[in-house]
Amino acid sequence: MKRIWAGWRMRYILGDKTTGCVFCEALQADDDAANYVVYRGERVALMLNLYPYINGHMLVVPYAHVSDLVELDDETLTDMMLLTTKGLRLLQTAMSPHGFNVGLNLGQAAGAGIQDHVHIHIVPRWENDTNFMPVLGDVRVIPEWLDDTYRKLLAALHEMEEEA
């Protein structure tokens, strides 16, 4: 029998289920730490993925609730790319990954989990970060609590801002 302890999921299981857009609700809330919003720009925010592929998995999310890049204005598109590069620098400073996967999933056929609100994924990668669990057990192992990753990223953000 396989057992994977994921105590953090109980909050999701028992918590109130959103009927609206999870991104819009997080971005409209007053508590960035509770929603893992790392940085807010004028048109776009940087936040941690609540259900990451690996620790440090971040999302670049525009405030505009649209499902496709072609629906965004040029300023928002520019801000999304600028914030993507800020997220890359932030993850390099905080976590020293060996590489990144950066991309979008537009539409259900492309694998979009949240189809109604376009967003960019920034997934840090480390050599040897894949083990037998996803291959044999169809299970991902995230080696760090989300709160710990959030604190690391905020500390790196403050460090980067002080150097600027």
Question: What is the set of active-site residues?
Answer: 119
Q: What DSSP element (H or E) covers 10?
A: helix 9-14
Give the bridge partners for 99, in sequence order: 125
For residues 81 and 15, give the distance between their C-alpha atoms in angstroms, rounded to a whole number. 33
For residues 79 and 57, give the distance between their C-alpha atoms in angstroms, rounded to a whole number. 19
| Cβ–Cβ under 8 Å, residues 123 and 57 | yes
Q: Cα angle vertex 10, ends 7, 109, to 5°?
A: 100
Q: Which residues contact 13 (CB under 8 A, 6 or more apart)?
A: none
